[in-house]
Structure 1
């Protein structure tokens, strides 16, 4: 007998920031929080720049045009910081 698990939906629902972290809520209700230090472009951005995010990649990514930054939900779930 198998156990039925709810379907995971790893698309971005919303993005929020604190002084030192990025939190991404996924469509399935999970919230991933990572340190802003993992993403230097975001860490050094102004609050105005941070607020200018867009959902990209069919819902599986976040893009900041002005900052030239892209983050995927796959990378967040893997715990992958930006390459140095």
Structure 2
């Protein structure tokens, strides 16, 4: 399961993709899973597009795709 992160920003969450799911793990170890069917742009995205994200006050924003996932 690949881990996508950027050295540009310190991130308090880890974002991974596997088996048609988006997994978000918080610093406290809690994990949430979201079906990629909910986010068609993410389901069809390249690894590079999936890796270009930032943490926001309300969740995760995928920059290249302009997709927000609320946590």
TM over 0.5: yes
Which structure's CA Rg is the greater one? 1
Following superposition, which runs of at least 4 residues in structure 1 exceed 2 angstroms of deviation?
A: none
The 5 A counterparts of 1:19-34 are 19-34=19-34
Q: Displacement, 1:18?
A: 1.6
For 1:54 and 1:19, locate their aligned partners in 2 and report how far apart those are by CA, in whole Å. 22
Q: Displacement, 1:27?
A: 2.4
> TM-score scaled to structure 1, two decimals?
0.63
Secondary structure (helix, strand or coil) at the match of 2:28 reads: coil
What is the aligned-residue RMSD (CA, Å)? 1.4
Question: Residue 65 of structure 2 aligns with which residue?
Answer: 67
> TM-score scaled to structure 2, two decimals?
0.73
**Unmatched tracts of structure 1, length 5 or more:** 1-11, 74-84
Structure having the higher strand fraction is 2
Structure having the higher helix fraction is 1
